Structure 1
Amino acid sequence: MTVQIEFLLASLNEELGLAREHRSTGASDLSLQAVASLLQRADTLTASGQWANANELFHAAARQVSDSWSFSSRLGMEVLELVQAVERRASN
């Protein structure tokens, strides 16, 4: 999972480097930074076996994406797909 999160973090940083009007997500700096922070913290918690706490952070990232990012954003879809994969893994 860490590799996938690292890929997403790199993509979030690339998006953050663009002017807002050129971002596929349409997200503000604050929103992109919040999602990056949530994913990093969730990854750390997952690595230490704290799945319940990590799950809350993954859901918070998904809410941020679904509430304020463009629905056609590939990056947003990738974040949401990660959260869904985490949910499937947690339910097994």
Structure 2
Amino acid sequence: MVHINNGGFSGYGPGFWGEGHDPYTYDVLGPDDINMTNAIEAIGWSTERVHEPGEVGAALKRAFAANENDQPAYVEIIASQYPVYGSWASA
């Protein structure tokens, strides 16, 4: 299983919670507040958390190798907070 985690729960943005209550969800809980890799590892899966783009390929290879040994695998890729649902980041 691959989880691309932008810490934004699909990136709800201003207006979702109503006027005056519109934080982006990554302002409420970020990827370090809820560590899915730790939770999934606790149920016996092979897990890996990736922070750098250059690490993704190797992490996926290790996950496939675990699968070949009948071990379920989970790779959590920590991504930027953008794009936020309905909008894109600008430079």
TM-score band w.r.t. shorter chain:
0.3 to 0.5
Normalising by structure 2, we get a TM-score of 0.33
User: Considering only CA atoms, is the larger Rg found in Structure 1 or Structure 2?
Assistant: 2
Q: Which has the higher contact order (CA 8 A, sep 6+)?
A: 2
Normalising by structure 1, we get a TM-score of 0.33
Report which of the two has the higher share of helix: 1
